Structure 1
Amino acid sequence: MDAIYRHQRHIYDASRKFYLLGRDRLIDDLAPPEGGSVLEIGCGTGRNLVRIARSYPGRACFGLDVSSAMLETARRSVGRTGLADRIALAQADATDFDPQALFGRAGFDRIVISYALSMIPPWRGVVEEALRRLAPGGELHIVDFGDQRDLPRPFAAVMNRWLALFHVTPRRELAQVLADAAAQAGATLRATSLHGGYAALAVLRRAA
């Protein structure tokens, strides 16, 4: 991942804002409880965490990423915004991480995965691990590329070829995998398709 992002990280936010649709809607719907906690898996440059921290004062924010290059950029971004006392960052594998060792806590009230599943080959394991790390009553919020069901075929074909250049693979089976994961974890699932299947939003809520 460092090889992929060593240079991309410098223009990542400026270039991605035009096609990573639904990120801000996800953040607006988070509504973490007062004094609660938010973890972003695959936090990248820290763009989402900064927005979350600003949107929800009084909540502790955490981010993990496997890429040391991205975390370097994220730390600079968090430092520039003066939020270093509210945002903690750590390097970890999203399929197997210990929140107690990384951040000194057992679980989180909200976990965010924003356009990371389409870049992680063992992405199903990421969903399962995130559900395990939710606090009782906590929610896992996901946004990523959708099933493309209603997109014009020529547009979808060009888009997929372009995404492949950046090692991105839309997970067309995302909805079914999330449904299965929710059932196995005893969680509820709310899913929304955006822009003809261009993107998908999902919220999985763990029982209290």
Structure 2
Amino acid sequence: MDAIYRSQRHIYDLTRKYYLLGRDALIAGIAPPPGGTVLEVGCGTGRNLIAAARAFPNARYFGIDISAAMLETARAKIAAAGLSHRIELAQGDATAFNSTALFGVAAFDRVFQSYTLSMIPDWQGALREGASKLAPGGRLDIVDFGQQEGLPRPFQVMLFAWLAKFDVTPRATLPEAVRAAARDNGLTGRFASLRRGYAWSASLSRG
């Protein structure tokens, strides 16, 4: 990840805003309870955490990323936004991390994964790990690339080939994985296709 993002991190937000669709809708729907805790798994440059902290100022925010380079950029952006006192970051593996050791928080009211599962080899493990960090009444929200099922086939072929250059693989079995995680963990699952399948969104709720 550091090799990929050491240079890209400087232009990441500027370029990604045009095709990482559904991120802002996810953030707008987080709605944590007053004094609640929110964790982003794969926080990247900190863009989403800053937006969430501004939208819902009565919550505490945390982010993990495996890339030290991305975390360096995220900390700088969060400091520039004047939010260092409300957003805490740590380096961690999305598939296995100890949030108590990292943040002193065992479970969160909201967890979200925005365009991260398509970049993580063990993405099912990351999905299960995120779900395992939910507090009672908590919810895991996901948005990522879909299968372009409602769009012309040439567009899908072109997009998937381009994404592959960045080691990004849209997860065709995400709906089944969400259902399995819900069944295995006593959660309520939800799945939706956005913009004719360009993006998929999902959630897992506890209680």
Please indicate, yes or no, whether the TM-score normalized by the shorter chain is above 0.5.
yes
Q: Percent same amino acid at aligned positions? A: 58
- Asked if residue 76 in structure 1 is aligned to residue 69 in structure 2, the reply is no
8 A Cα contact 1:49 1:61, kept in partner: yes
8 A Cα contact 2:147 2:198, kept in partner: yes
| 2:16 counterpart residue number | 16
Measured in 2, the distance between the counterparts of 1:115 and 1:141 equals 11
Measured in 1, the distance between the counterparts of 2:177 and 2:189 equals 11
Residue identity in the other structure for 1:151:
L
Measured in 2, the distance between the counterparts of 1:172 and 1:28 equals 26
Measured in 2, the distance between the counterparts of 1:196 and 1:156 equals 11
Q: Aligned-pair RMSD on alpha carbons?
A: 0.6
Measured in 2, the distance between the counterparts of 1:147 and 1:166 equals 17
Offset at 1:172?
1.1
TM-score by length of 1: 0.98
Measured in 1, the distance between the counterparts of 2:192 and 2:83 equals 31
Offset at 1:58?
1.5
- Asked if residue 180 in structure 1 is aligned to residue 148 in structure 2, the reply is no
Measured in 1, the distance between the counterparts of 2:178 and 2:15 equals 28
| 1:164 counterpart residue number | 164
| 1:62 counterpart residue number | 62
Residue identity in the other structure for 2:43:
C
- Report the secondary structure of 1:43's partner residue: coil
Aligned residues: 207
Offset at 1:148?
1.9
8 A Cα contact 1:147 1:173, kept in partner: no
Deviations along 1:24-63, one digit per CA (max 9) or x if unpaired, are: 0001111110110100000000000000000001100000
Offset at 1:147?
2.3
8 A Cα contact 2:150 2:196, kept in partner: yes
| 1:134 counterpart residue number | 134
8 A Cα contact 1:146 1:198, kept in partner: yes
Which structure 1 residue ranges, 4+ long, deviate > 4 Å from structure 2? none
Ranges in structure 2 where 5+ consecutive residues have no aligned partner: none
8 A Cα contact 2:147 2:156, kept in partner: no
